């Protein structure tokens, strides 16, 4: 339900937008994000052809030894997003949009680095200084909550990297104003894990608007460190999983990058000189939606009609925080589609029997993506999935999608997850038809999550990459709200399997054998373990030891006491350090949520999931895990405990982002390794973060020293640890 900010009275248009029934637009090919076309030298980014959107990055990525330089032009880009709804009135179903993006591209360029590199990013904020959302008294029609605004001011966060948060490093406490340029320098330590990370805008107050416009990109740390036996001097040598993911002839497994974006663009009716400013009324299939609309219009799909006299239509934009972002169900009701690298429902063609590495990055701001790979069932003579021609809005597609992409234990294609949040797991997790309660598992991706999986398709045919519907228990407000997956299944991509070599038998055994055969250089025990999914030799972290000093457990309790979005009862205050901890020490944290689920993310240092507890039917608080880390069937299979499914497979894993469900307590352990400085923890439902659900944490040299060991006695900036600035 839309939150009730104080608002001026607006009119509601009484017309209905009669949309002509048009032919479904043709198939759209899978596109990689803008990336380097080769190796070495100065490498210009590939520009997407103007017909596909006019992406002009106007920058380059280059390598000079261990220095990787990138230019990110933050601009108001004009391009197109394809809409598979055949009633979309735009030519060829291409909706024109005008969004804050990097280089005017649908997604940011992929940045590849190696451990030990220095990443230098020139962030050029080319947006307009004229920013009504940044005024002391912004236009009343924007209905901005406290702290939200300055949509043209930005900064940069390298999400998941273990790097310094200070100075011009991964510092999200900076404000890069319009028409200015800032030089970031991210020094990646030589022992940094290889993996899948990402970058995105993170200026408090404008984060959600900018990320919902597509201001994000994939950041990959490539690893070349081979397996090395342990020794007394080096009991856990650094090794990269990249070095064993190749064919028998040494060719790396083919990679596909999936940047999932939920770009919440809307077309507005901006009448000239309308009271309260622009961006107040969104075109929907049932009329104009504004802050006073009833549920019939508020829940209607958005549309971008052709302008007519007296009815101006803007390009698709993200400008009104209250209307477009600030609701747990808005993504489920607005009718927009989750895109992959800026393309809606692209077609991907792969050969049978080929093992591929798929890097999933959830770059949306709010809604869960429940990823499943399902073999399609041909429906009649006209196989819509084979033709990449399943058209319509979400509701119109529902019947066809359920018939053609029906997920069952026989149709579900397993995903073999070997890394989560960019960090290699100790054991491959198979996402399939679970033996625990007979649940059909999804790869549950929350905003900010990453998942690296191996996939292999057994035979020719057509497959669906699905965002599976969330079970009722995962829907906010007893199944009526949103936020944890769509109310009906949604198609993310068509996968056509053509050619190659069919695979019979168990796919898990097949994948293990391929990895075993491709790595004869490994010691027998390590090689045999790899075949069985044992990844400990390549996992960057071992079990963290408990805190050495018994003390109070750190806690982050997420609660909305509207209009206040709080952590531990306090909304974000940039002038307050909420937590002060000491470098090279370990803490246990307790994470809880009340009212609705939230997503905990902390910068710089990952954490280890130690336990997840909930209240059973007898009112006892119990762990959802057995002693060996598997999920308890009596909890996972319970109708009331479906929320526990997404925690299965997380026991003792390392992450940087985790959902915190109601009636669940998440216990994690983290070590503040190497870096001092100030950074943040927050809810990664980014409209919640902007509204105040964020806190500052400072890591200091010595908690017992004056000022935490920062500065010299008598210096003007020395203050007691934890004090306000």
Nearest CA to 538 out of 647, 424, 652 is that of: 424
> Is the pLDDT assigned to residue 723 strictly greater than 60?
no
C-alpha 291: how far from chain center: 28
Q: What is the mean pLDDT of residues 215-222?
A: 96
Query: CB within 8 A of 196, min separation 6: which ones?
Result: 218, 220, 359, 360, 361, 419, 422, 450, 452
In this predicted model, what pLDDT tens digit does every residue of 222-278 receive, in sequence order?
Answer: 999 999 999 988 888 999 999 999 999 999 999 999 999 999 999 999 988 889 999
Cα(449)–Cα(609) distance, integer angstroms: 14
Cα(513)–Cα(528) distance, integer angstroms: 9
> Is the pLDDT assigned to residue 323 strictly greater than 70?
yes
pLDDT at residue 437, as a whole number: 58
Q: Distance from first CA to last CA of the chain, Å, rounded?
A: 37
pLDDT at residue 436, as a whole number: 59
Residue of higher predicted confidence among 705 and 695: 695
Contact 312/318 with Cβ under 8 angstroms? no
Q: What is the mean pLDDT of residues 13-28?
A: 47
pLDDT band for 34, please (50, 70, 90 cuts): confident
CA angle 324, 568, 718 (to 5 degrees): 105
Superfamily of domain 31-262+342-539: Cupredoxins -  blue copper proteins (2.60.40.420)
Cα(325)–Cα(426) distance, integer angstroms: 37
Contact 593/559 with Cβ under 8 angstroms? yes
CATH number of the domain located at residue range(s) 554-709 in this protein: 2.60.40.420
Sheet with 450-455: list strands edge to edge: 343-344, 339-340, 254-261, 356-362, 450-455, 415-420, 423-431
Nearest CA to 665 out of 606, 612, 713 is that of: 612
Domains 31-262+342-539 and 554-709 belong to one CATH topology? yes
Query: CB within 8 A of 481, min separation 6: which ones?
Result: 1, 328, 329, 475, 596
Q: Give the helix/strand (H/E) hosting 259.
A: strand 254-261
Contact 542/652 with Cβ under 8 angstroms? no
Average model confidence (pLDDT) across the chain:
88
Nearest CA to 95 out of 165, 19, 159, 163 is that of: 19
Using DSSP bridges, classify how beta strands 586-594 and 347-352 pair: parallel, antiparallel or unpaired. unpaired
pLDDT at residue 59, as a whole number: 65
> Is the pLDDT assigned to residue 660 strictly greater than 70?
yes
Sheet with 657-660: list strands edge to edge: 579-582, 694-700, 677-683, 598-602, 657-660
Q: How many CB atoms lie within 10 A of CB 663?
A: 15
> Is the pLDDT assigned to residue 431 strictly greater than 90?
yes
Burial class (CB in 10 A: 0-12, 13-18, 19+), 706: middle
pLDDT band for 617, please (50, 70, 90 cuts): confident
Mean pLDDT lowest for which of 46-55, 471-480, 502-511, 551-560? 46-55
C-alpha 198: how far from chain center: 9
Give, in order, the Cα–Cα distances in Å from 285 to each of 264, 324, 626.
16, 16, 50
Domain ranges, ordered by start, for the chain: 31-262+342-539, 554-709
Cα(600)–Cα(587) distance, integer angstroms: 16
In this predicted model, what pLDDT tens digit does every residue of 72-128 receive, in sequence order?
Answer: 999 999 999 999 988 889 998 999 999 999 988 889 999 999 999 999 999 999 999
């Amino acid at each position: 339900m839309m939150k009730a900010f104080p608002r001026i009275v607006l009119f509601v248009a009484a017309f209905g937008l009669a949309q002509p029934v048009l032919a479904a637009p043709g198939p759209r090919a899978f596109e990689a994000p803008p990336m380097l076309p080769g190796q070495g030298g100065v490498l210009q980014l590939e520009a997407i052809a103007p017909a596909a959107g006019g992406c002009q990055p106007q920058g380059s990525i280059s390598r000079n030894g261990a220095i990787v330089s990138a230019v990110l032009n933050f601009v108001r880009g004009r391009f197109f997003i394809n809409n598979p709804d055949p009633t979309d009135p735009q030519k060829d179903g291409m909706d024109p949009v005008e969004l804050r993006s990097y280089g005017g591209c649908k997604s940011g360029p992929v940045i590849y680095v190696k451990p030990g590199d220095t990443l230098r990013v020139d962030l050029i904020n080319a947006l307009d200084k004229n920013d009504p959302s940044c005024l002391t008294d912004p236009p009343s029609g924007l209905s901005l909550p406290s702290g939200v605004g300055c949509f043209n001011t930005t900064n940069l966060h390298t999400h998941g990297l273990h790097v310094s948060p200070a100075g011009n490093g991964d510092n999200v406490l900076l404000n890069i104003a319009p028409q200015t340029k800032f030089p970031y320098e991210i020094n990646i330590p030589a022992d940094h894990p290889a993996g899948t990370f990402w970058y995105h805008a993170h200026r408090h107050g404008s984060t959600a608007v900018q990320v919902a416009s597509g201001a994000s990109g994939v950041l990959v740390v490539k690893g070349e460190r081979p397996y090395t036996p342990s020794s007394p001097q080096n009991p856990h040598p650094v090794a990269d999983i990249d070095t064993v993911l190749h064919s028998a002839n040494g060719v790396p497994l083919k990679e596909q990058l999936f940047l999932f974006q939920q770009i919440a663009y809307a077309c507005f009716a901006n009448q000239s000189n309308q009271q309260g400013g622009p961006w107040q009324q969104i075109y929907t299939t049932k009329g104009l939606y504004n802050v006073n609309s009833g549920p019939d219009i508020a829940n209607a799909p958005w549309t971008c009609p052709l302008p007519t006299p007296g009815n101006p239509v803007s390009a698709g934009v993200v400008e009104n925080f209250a209307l477009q972002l600030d609701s747990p169900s808005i993504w489920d009701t607005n009718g927009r589609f989750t895109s992959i690298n800026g393309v809606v429902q692209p077609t991907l063609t792969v050969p049978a029997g080929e093992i591929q590495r798929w890097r999933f990055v959830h770059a949306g701001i709010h809604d869960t993506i429940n990823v499943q790979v399902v073999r399609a069932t041909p429906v009649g003579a006209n196989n819509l999935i084979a033709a990449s021609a399943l058209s319509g809005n979400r509701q119109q597609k529902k019947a066809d999608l359920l018939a053609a992409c029906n997920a069952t234990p026989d149709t579900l294609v397993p995903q073999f997850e070997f890394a989560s949040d960019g960090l290699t797991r100790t054991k491959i997790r198979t996402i399939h038809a679970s033996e625990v309660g007979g649940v059909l598992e999804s790869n549950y991706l929350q905003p900010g999550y990453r998942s690296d999986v191996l996939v292999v398709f057994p035979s020719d045919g057509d497959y669906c990459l699905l965002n599976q519907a969330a079970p009722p228990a995962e829907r906010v407000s007893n199944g009526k709200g949103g936020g944890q997956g769509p109310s009906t299944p949604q198609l993310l991509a068509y996968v056509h399997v053509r050619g190659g070599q069919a695979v019979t038998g168990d796919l898990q055994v097949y994948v293990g054998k391929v990895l075993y055969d491709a790595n004869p250089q490994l010691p027998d025990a390590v090689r045999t373990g790899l075949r069985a999914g044992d990844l400990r030799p390549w996992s960057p972290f071992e079990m963290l030891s408990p805190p050495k000093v018994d003390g109070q457990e750190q806690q982050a309790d997420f609660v909305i006491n509207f209009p206040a979005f709080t952590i531990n009862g306090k909304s974000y205050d940039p002038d307050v350090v909420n937590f002060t901890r000491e470098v090279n020490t370990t803490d246990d944290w307790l994470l809880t949520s009340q009212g609705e689920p939230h997503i905990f993310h902390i910068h710089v240092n990952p954490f280890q999931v130690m336990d997840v507890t909930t209240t059973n039917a007898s009112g006892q608080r119990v762990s959802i895990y057995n002693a060996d880390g598997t999920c308890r069937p009596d909890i996972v299979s319970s109708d009331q405990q479906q929320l526990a499914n997404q925690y299965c497979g997380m026991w003792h894993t390392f992450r940087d982002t985790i959902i915190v469900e109601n009636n669940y307590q998440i216990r994690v352990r983290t070590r503040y390794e190497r870096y001092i400085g100030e950074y943040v923890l927050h809810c990664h439902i980014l409209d919640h973060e902007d509204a105040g659900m964020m806190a500052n944490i400072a890591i200091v040299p010595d908690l017992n020293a004056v000022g935490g060991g920062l500065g010299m006695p008598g210096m003007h900036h020395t203050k007691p640890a934890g004090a306000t600035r």
